Amino acid sequence: MEVPILKQGHYLIASIQSALTDADLSQLREALIERVGRFRARGVIVDVTALDVMDSFAVRTLRDIAHMARLRGSETVIVGIQPEVAFAMVQLGLTLKGVSTALDLEEGLAFLDRQTQLRIERGSARLDRG
Amino acid sequence: MATKGKNALPSPSDPQTQSESTAALLRELVALLRQNRTQLREEWARRITRAQLLTAMTEEEIFAEATSVYDNYVEALETGTFEALQAYARNLSERIIPRGVETHEVVGIVLLLRDVLARSLFAKYHEDFDKLNRILDAYEPAANRIANTVAVGFVQERERIIRQQQEAIRELSTPVLQVRERLLILPIIGVIDPQRARQLTEQLLRAIRTNRAKVVVIDITGVAAMDSNVANHLVQTVEASRLLGATVIVTGLSPEIAQTLVTIGVDLSEMATVGDLQGGIEEAERLLGYKVLPLEEVSPKT
Amino acid sequence: MADELLIPIAADVDVVTARQRGRDLAAHAGFSSGDQTVIAAAISEIARNILMYAKRGEVTLSLVANGDRRGIVIVARDQGPGIRDVERALEDGYSTSGGLGLGLPGARRLMDDFDVSSGVGKGTTVTMKKWRRQNA
């Protein structure tokens, strides 16, 4: 089951539609990282609203996506984690430390807008000083 | 059987006769109870009042319920099925439990009915001891089952209501309040056990989603003590809220709790804490981009 | 629905099947949706462990009753290499596969009863239970 990846402006949006196997997840990671470079994306949103469970492999893959994307200059936000899923995750000890999260797609987009805006401001401040 | 005189001691009849005639005897019994419905029902209601049972109910109410129970009772005897009686018992319990009717009263009235009916059988068959004996053989097991069904139905209903009330109390004890758009407050008061901690988390996470909350202030001023289990649960609640995209601020950590947490080594480094609830709300408003100003500073000067 | 289900585990899609069946059975048994998620996550972890360490095995799901307590029992069985040090395998962050090391300890935290029996060369059996909470 391939996850569709949408390009919207400077962002990539991967919207998971159904339960994913480990292979599906790995494939999503590769596709996203490849496209971050190809489209020079500034932000990545992974929408997991449809996932009714997240285990250690899924969480590790999401974390890897965020870290790899950051290395390639792109900010990642995970959106749509369900309340029950979140509770099960923390009981498992999976907290997605260091990865940004937002309530839903709308919030995720707003978050990325703020982040990229901040980055631009910080950049220009540095230029001003220099 | 023929050798048994009228004055022989009552004892269970032999199985053969019993099996062949139980159905017929029950039929006879049912007919008798139908025939004497008015009189027996009144006698029963009188005995209930005299025994000071169901004191929470008026005499009319007692008579009305007595009628229903009587009819259901006869029907159970007739059909040998207890579903209707069971349903009635549950329904009756539902109505009388809120009025403070106690278990012993319900058991008491069923036993009284059993007594009233048995006495009517004695009155009717005292001439024929052998017949009486067989009638009682047919009646006793059915009557016991009926009494059992009604009493158990009552107790089960009581237990269900108690569970429901416990649940309601627990819900009440953890209100999630929205104070501003996207800002929730969860004041925790009292003792937190693992079950309450779990329920509290589930409720908060659902509220975050429904209210689209971005900041949550958890105030634990009213929590007297906290062990490592509960502390870890608090940490989990904070982490799970973050996974939904909400920031949690914990306020009102008492010096004792702070000391406990440090001593038992709970990692609170990821947790935002502010001294008191007011400070917590101010911090939350700052995060949300609100700024609270006195009116004179806002109103345009003319 | 049958009260005992056996799901062979030989590919990653079987892990998904196992946890979905587990969730369905838990729902059927009246577990809360929170607990259904927890059960599905635990099944996912131990089923993946089979795949990672033993390549193949099976997961069985069934319902139990103990007095008026109702619960779900999950047994994961394989004929793989076994675990040398069960105690350590149950420690957080201990992994011989380069994973997060949360599989077994994580699943244990999610469940009420958790038991691992394993011997080197004898395969591994993980038995875990979750009881339905009253009033939940």
What ipTM score was computed for the predicted complex, to two decimals?
A: 0.90
Q: At residue B6, does pLDDT exceed 50?
A: no
Region C129-136: mean pLDDT is 76
- A78: pLDDT strictly greater than 60: yes
pLDDT in tens, B54-76: 888 888 888 888 888 888 888 88
| Three-class secondary structure of residue B86 per DSSP | helix
How far CA C122 is from CA of C87, C119, C125, in Å, comes to 17, 5, 10
**What average pLDDT does this structure show over B287-298?**
81
Q: What is the pLDDT of residue B157?
A: 87
Q: State the nearest Cα–Cα gap between C97 and chain B, in angstroms.
A: 27
The terminus-to-terminus CA distance of chain C in angstroms comes to: 22
From the number of C-beta atoms within 10 Å of its C-beta (0-12, 13-18, 19+), residue C32 rates as middle
Q: What is the pLDDT of residue A16?
A: 95
Specify the range with the lowest mean pLDDT, choosing from A108-122, B47-61, B180-194, C81-95. C81-95
Reported as a single tens digit per residue, the pLDDT across C1-44 is: 456 899 999 999 999 999 999 999 999 999 999 999 999 999 99
The more confidently predicted of residues B55 and C62 is: C62
Contacts B166 to C, Cβ<8 Å: 135
pLDDT at A127: 65
Q: Do A89 and B244 touch (CB under 8 A)?
A: no
pLDDT band at B8 (very low <50, low <70, confident <90, very high): very low
CB atoms near residue B50 (< 10 Å): 9
Contact C135 B166 (CB under 8 A): yes
Mean pLDDT score, B118-140: 87
Instruction: Give A125→chain B minimum CA distance, Å.
Output: 22
What's the pLDDT at C36?
95
Are C34 and B166 inside 8 Å of each other by CB?
Answer: no
Per-chain mean pLDDT for chain B = 84
- Distance CA(B186)–CA(B218), nearest Å, equals 5
Rounded to the nearest 10°, the torsion over CA B51, B54, B56, B61 is -110
**Cβ neighbours of residue B24 closer than 8 Å, sequence gap 6 or more:** none
In whole angstroms, what is the distance from residue A47 CA to residue A28 CA?
Answer: 12
* Mean pLDDT within A82-91: 95
The predicted pLDDT at position A109 comes to 95
pLDDT at position C101, please? 53
Strands C113-119 and C123-131 come out as antiparallel
The pLDDT of residue C35 is 94
User: Higher pLDDT residue, A58 or C86?
Assistant: A58
So what's the pLDDT on residue C95?
60
The single residue listed with the structure tokens 């239970």 is C129
Minimal CA separation from A28 to chain B, in Å: 20
| pLDDT score recorded for residue B4 | 43
The C-alpha atoms of residue B60 and residue A79 are separated, in whole angstroms, by 63
N residues, chain B: 302
Query: What is the pLDDT at residue C102?
Result: 61
* Cβ pair B245:A101 closer than 8 A: yes
Higher pLDDT: C85 or A4? It is A4
> Structural domains in chain C?
4-131 (3.30.565.10)
Q: Is the pLDDT of residue B10 over 70?
A: no
- What the block records as the tokens of B52 is 């000071």
Query: Which residues in chain A are contacts of C23 at CB distance < 8 A?
Result: 52-53
Vertex A17 angle, CA A16 and A23, to 5°: 60
Tell me whether strands B247-251 and C57-66 are parallel, antiparallel or unpaired. unpaired
Question: Which residue in chain B has the smallest CA separation from A54?
Answer: B243
The pLDDT confidence band at residue B140, using thresholds 50, 70 and 90, is confident
Q: Which residue has the higher pLDDT, B148 or C97?
A: B148
CB contact under 8 A, A55 and C45: yes
Instruction: List residues of chain B with CB under 8 Å from any CB of chain A.
Output: 201-202, 205-206, 208-209, 212, 214, 236, 239-246
pLDDT of residue C83: 85
Tell me which residue in C19, C37, C105 faces A84 most closely, judged by beta carbons. C37
Reported in sequence order, the residue ranges of B141-230 that DSSP labels E, i.e. its strands, are 177-180, 183-189, 215-222
pLDDT at B205: 95
Of the segments B131-140, B182-191, C17-26, C95-104, which one has the largest average pLDDT value? C17-26
Interface test with C, best of A1, A56, A94, A96 (most C CBs within 10 A): A56
Q: With CB atoms and an 8 Å threshold, state whether B243 touches A103.
A: no
d(CA B69, CA A37): 80
Report the residue of chain A nearest C18, measured CA to CA: A21
pTM of the model: 0.70
Q: Which of A52-56, B124-128, B171-175 has the highest mean pLDDT?
A: A52-56
Domains of chain A: 5-129 (3.30.750.24)
Query: Is residue A73 predicted with pLDDT exceeding 60?
Result: yes
Contacting subunits of C (3+ beta carbon pairs below 8 A): A, B
What sign for the dihedral angle of Cα B109, B112, B116, B122? positive
> b/e for B86-123, b at 16 or more Cβ within 10 A?
bebbbebbeebbeeebbeebbbbbbebbbebbbebbee
Interchain contact, C33 vs A54, CB within 8 Å: no
Q: Which of B6-10, B251-255, C4-8 has the lowest mean pLDDT?
A: B6-10
Banded model confidence at residue C99, pLDDT cuts 50, 70, 90:
low
Helix (H, G, I), strand (E, B) or coil at B248: strand
The H or E element spanning position B273 is: strand B272-274
Residue B141 to residue B146: CA distance in whole angstroms = 9
Of residues C37, C35, C42, the one with CA closest to residue C134: C35
Burial, B206: exposed, middle or buried (Cβ in 10 Å; 0-12, 13-18, 19+)? middle
Put simply, whether A105 touches B (Cβ < 8 Å) is: no
Tell me whether strands A75-79 and A11-15 are parallel, antiparallel or unpaired.
Answer: unpaired
CA–CA distance, A40 with A36 (Å, rounded to integer): 5
- How does residue B237 score in pLDDT terms, banded at 50, 70 and 90? very high
